[in-house]
Structure 1
């Protein structure tokens, strides 16, 4: 546990950065960006927060290792591998995709940090929640602590909820949403004055809200949040050349580094909604930059 405490005592400066843009002035809005991308060089952004108490639990159980799931460019697997190396704990990643992806920058980093990779086809990957599939993994990796995809589990929520202590009052907290754990964690401690808006970065129609409810059941009856489902750009990790150019332009205008999978896509969606008049004049907005800049290398 001492290693865990040392790791989490070394957090970087997640500053609240004010930004200016003509569109904000035109609509009478103020916007700050919560720079969680600066929390840690490799255990980035929301992964730093989501893994906090998951890692503590695994260490308290004296787990033989850490195992989780992700795609070939997974920020979560990248962060987990870095955390495992820092804690001296073996890691294993179940990767959706073909073995030739092992040489990409994300998985090369993970392997360099000691993570063993097992590639599975998409049909097998869909079984990652099934008891018999998980039992097979447990048999092949005895004593490993199994963490859901994206680190999204009930133990992830309190680490995310701690974010509220670092924020000033605001009308809207806005963030990208994929596996739903960060959104659920924020809702678990949402101040009544603040509405939370999640921009889905994948096709989440019909199931993403249910995923959030599954992680934090009271969210099903909480009117203080919403999902924006029309800014996914065609699906997870899909980004047209026009959108990629728009994200680059926005990054330069706001002086904030962005990638096109999570924060870049969600921030572009936010500015398109601002242009459409979706946010009330006079509102104070905070956008949560969830990190993952390593994914820009794709």
Structure 2
């Protein structure tokens, strides 16, 4: 995918930090309006491989408000692929009209197939994939969240010579592909901190499939209850952060990461002189879906 990645801005965040700490954000969210951040990075070499294999259809998997589903739909339209999305939850077929992510996918030409949560758990099985090929014909499979070895290769390119001056690199963690790539791309003096959006310690093993280095650590204290869960405190933080910095954050990934980074700074986690770089991995399309949920509950929405 030939999008502009040569001059991605790195912005310093000038909040009330200790004098020995400086925080910057790499605005990967600005790569493209719809295929941004880590989604661009993960799809770059997968789409190239699909072309090499003379594939014309991409098939992938995701939930109701999946950034990945939206990105694959948009990338497919841009690059001339047919796209198929296998969506977790049969009940969602009746909720398309109120789901901005699924509407976006359809508008970009993606064919959606809704499956039960039980069937969805079989998404990597040979039997399930064979059934899908019988139904849809030949296709190139992209895993849920986009993570595979080609995705990791793409995410390694997030770190360039421009990022060499930083001591700590921070990123949000979903399926583990982004942090795996960043670990591969990081310089020997850099520590990589990942902020999982999900509860549980299973991600260590996922990441170790791709990474043999020990330059990384997962910070598991800022998932706010688990994937897709938010609190009033988190929403207030995201809104205050945008007001102060003009940088939007999503509530699933980057909002939790920045909350965690700033909380660690305030609590003296970074004791020595430290230049911290947070990777803004995009995901902003998910704000509309979260706001719909918040409105139904009479809660403050994301600005």
| Contact 1:13-1:39 at 8 Å conserved across structures | no
Aligned-CA RMSD value: 1.5
**Residue 17 (str. 1) matches residue 8 (str. 2):** no
SS at match of 1:237: coil
1:256 to 237, 247, 252: 247
Which of 71-80 and 156-165 deviates more?
Answer: 156-165
Q: Work out the CA distance in 2 between the residues paired with 1:50 and 1:139.
A: 27
| Contact 1:27-1:281 at 8 Å conserved across structures | no
**Residue 269 (str. 1) matches residue 260 (str. 2):** yes
Deviation at 1:189, TM superposition (A): 2.5
Change (3 A) 1:12 1:27: same
Q: Work out the CA distance in 2 between the residues paired with 1:270 and 1:126.
A: 33
TM-score (norm. length: structure 1): 0.92
What is residue 28 of structure 1 aligned with on the other side?
A: 20
Deviation at 1:239, TM superposition (A): 0.3
For residues 40-189 of structure 1, what are the structure 2 equivalents within 5 Å? 40-97=32-89, 98-103=92-97, 104-165=99-160, 166-189=162-185
SS at match of 2:250: coil
Q: Work out the CA distance in 2 between the residues paired with 1:100 and 1:276.
A: 46
| Contact 2:250-2:286 at 8 Å conserved across structures | yes
| Contact 1:17-1:33 at 8 Å conserved across structures | yes
Q: Work out the CA distance in 2 between the residues paired with 1:52 and 1:101.
A: 31
Deviation at 1:230, TM superposition (A): 1.3
SS at match of 1:53: helix
Q: How many residues align?
A: 285
Gaps of 5+ in 1: 1-6
Per-residue deviation, residues 136-173 of structure 1 (Å, max 9, x unmatched): 12222221101101110001112111121142321100
Per-residue deviation, residues 172-195 of structure 1 (Å, max 9, x unmatched): 000100011001111123210100
Q: Work out the CA distance in 1 between the residues paired with 2:189 and 2:202.
A: 27
Q: Work out the CA distance in 2 between the residues paired with 1:202 and 1:122.
A: 18
Q: Work out the CA distance in 1 between the residues paired with 2:29 and 2:102.
A: 19
Deviation at 1:13, TM superposition (A): 4.7
